[in-house]
Amino acid sequence: MDTKNIAIGLVIGILVGAVGIYVVDMSRFSQLNKQIKSLEDLTDSQQEIIDTQEAAILIVDTLRAEVNASRELIKDYEDYKESADALIEKLTEDYNILNILCAQRTYRLEEALTQLNKYDPEYEPGTEFSFVYGDLSFEDWWKINGGSFEEWWSRVYG
């Protein structure tokens, strides 16, 4: 019986030890289960953050593409503006040359018509040459009174 008692004692000891280990480890298992649940929640929240960041990256990429397209449009506009400014400058220069030529031609015609009045008293010139131009040459008069055609016309015939 001694062997039997030893065997029973051993089985009881093993069972008590197993129950003790189970009870001690149960709190560890519970704690490990809580940590697993916490890690799963953290993983879910991290995935939400990653999804939000990916959406933000897509928005940033879209905005970057729009900015680049806008920069291209601005560059095209600036090129167009420079071209238009050069054309306007050239047209203004041509317009001023035409103003001077027209005024100079009218000056000569008015001067000739004023001389014609001396020879044909019935002819009346359209303007009083000496009143408009005085004793100035055309170049001197233009330096003082030159401008757009409309301004010049109003001074001569206005």
Residue 69 and residue 100 in contact, taking contact as beta carbons nearer than 8 Å: no
CB half-sphere exposure, 81, CA atoms < 13 A: 6
Q: 72 by DSSP, 3-state: which?
A: helix
Residue 156 and residue 106 in contact, taking contact as beta carbons nearer than 8 Å: yes
Per-residue pLDDT tens listing for the chain (158 residues): 578 778 788 888 888 777 777 777 777 778 888 888 888 888 888 999 999 999 999 999 999 999 999 999 999 999 999 999 999 989 988 887 887 777 778 777 777 777 776 776 666 655 665 666 667 677 777 777 766 666 666 666 65
Domain assignment present for 5: no
The per-residue pLDDT for 83 is 92
Domain assignment present for 137: yes
Domain assignment present for 12: no
* Domain that residue 151 falls in: 48-157
Domain assignment present for 86: yes
Domain assignment present for 32: no
The per-residue pLDDT for 74 is 92
pTM: 0.45
> Cα–Cα distance between 147 and 149 in angstroms, integer?
7
Domain count, the chain: 1
Domain assignment present for 21: no
Structure tokens at 20: 């003790």
Residue 132 and residue 155 in contact, taking contact as beta carbons nearer than 8 Å: yes
Domain assignment present for 24: no
Domain assignment present for 115: yes
The per-residue pLDDT for 106 is 76
